[in-house]
Amino acid sequence: MTTSTVTAPASTRAPGTAAAPDPARTRRRRRLAQWGFVAPAVVFMLLFFGYPLVRNVVMSFQHYTPKTFFTGEAPFNGTDNWAAVLQDALFGKALWHTLVFTAGSLLGQFCVGLALAVFFNRRFPLGGVLRSLILLPWLVPMVVSGIVWRRILDQDTGVLNTFLDTLGPIGHLPWLTSPDLALLSVILVNVWIGVPFNMVILYGGLQEIPKELYEAASLDGASAWRTFRSVTLPVLKPVITVVLVLGFMSTVKILDLILALTDGGPADATQTLGTLTYQNSFVELDFGAGAVVGNALILVSAVFAVLYLRADRTEGK
């Protein structure tokens, strides 16, 4: 591909010096060639991750209208976007939904994932095959999973309500169409999506725990629950941290799933900072307002990162 060609350092050697290479100079050339390996990736990441961060801050102080993309004019308007977004009640709601969605998803994914990891850590016929087949849902595009679940959760003819009918007269629950239930439904679907990933990583962690620890625990007469709490969990802690940190970073920014399931509705009940950014920028073409919400989303991640790093440091001491 054209972007990635590593160009050789273009140093032209002065004629006559070729016979006796200056060591400092060859070293410098060597360094330059070595940087040539790394530079394309650094440039790419600066363009696709660094630049958007900066640009979003700038954009949040600019006035974008649908006309901007014809005229190219987006005048600075001070803190107008910020004031407009922060005064809108929807922003607070979206922030709250983001936190609930993230916390709920992480809790569900982690608990179910850990339970399955512990379960598959036993040896039984077909265990390995079943464990790897559980990965399948994770490989389906998230937006497609969302659409499949939208059909399953349909109030009148979805298979979940049909199934619940056979259990008793609960009535058909409006999973995705009631403002009270929709966020919970979206969380449950996201738990389903995240379980395989959690399970695989936690399973890998369980496999690393030395058998002797369990033997010692059973010699001491510890119960299964006690062993789990006093041996498994403490040893597994680094892996648990990785799962939760990665889970947070990928969950807080989820957009595909919510758009496919509810489009942020009903009555904005599943609107998160991610979907609100999308709606402001790409539906209403107010990129300034979208940038404000996007910055808030980054801020949430940053606060989490700082808390995590601080907790990590105090623990290391």
Partner 1 sequence: MASHTTAPARGRRLGSTAVGLLILGVMLFPLYWMLNTALQPESGLLQVDPVPGDPDLSGFSKALGDQGGHLLTSLVVSLGAVAVCLAVSAPAAYGLARFGLRGSRTIVFGTLITQMVPGIVIANALYTSYVDLGLVNSYFGLMLADASLGIPFSIVLMRSFMVSLPGEVLEAAEIDGAGPVRTFVRVVLPMSRNSLITSGLFAFLFAWSDFMFALTLNTTDDVKPITLGIYQYIGAHVGDWGSVMAASVLSAVPAAVLLLLAQKHIAAGITGGSVK
Site for partner 1 in 119-158 (CB under 8 A): 119-120, 122-127, 130-137, 139-145, 147-152, 157
Q: Are 53 and 297 contacting, i.e. CB atoms less than 8 angstroms apart?
A: no
Shortest spacing between CB 207 and partner 1, in angstroms: 10
Q: Which is nearer to partner 1, 144 or 267 (CB)?
A: 144
**Among 162, 223, 229, 267, which residue sits at the site for partner 1 (rule: CB under 8 A)?**
162
Question: Within 191-210, which residues bind partner 1 (CB under 8 A)?
Answer: 192, 195-197, 200-201, 204-205
**Among 27, 28, 42, 218, which residue sits at the site for partner 1 (rule: CB under 8 A)?**
42
Distance CA 180, CA 161 (A): 17
Q: Which stretch binds partner 1 (CB under 8 A): 43-51, 87-95, 180-188, 212-220?
A: 43-51
Shortest spacing between CB 141 and partner 1, in angstroms: 4
Q: Which stretch binds partner 1 (CB under 8 A): 100-108, 171-179, 209-217, 251-259?
A: 251-259
Residue 76 pairs with which residues in a beta bridge? Answer: 62
* 311 interacts with partner 1 by CB under 8 A: no
Helix extents (H) in 209-266: 211-219, 224-227, 233-251, 256-261
Q: How far is CA 49 from CA 53, 149, 249, 252, in A?
A: 7, 32, 15, 17
Q: Which two tokens stand for residue 42?
A: 């650094």
Q: What length does the chain have?
A: 317
Consecutive H or E run containing 167: helix 159-167
Question: Within 51-90, which residues bind partner 1 (CB under 8 A)?
Answer: 51-53, 55-56, 59, 69
Would you call 178 helix, strand, or coil by DSSP? coil
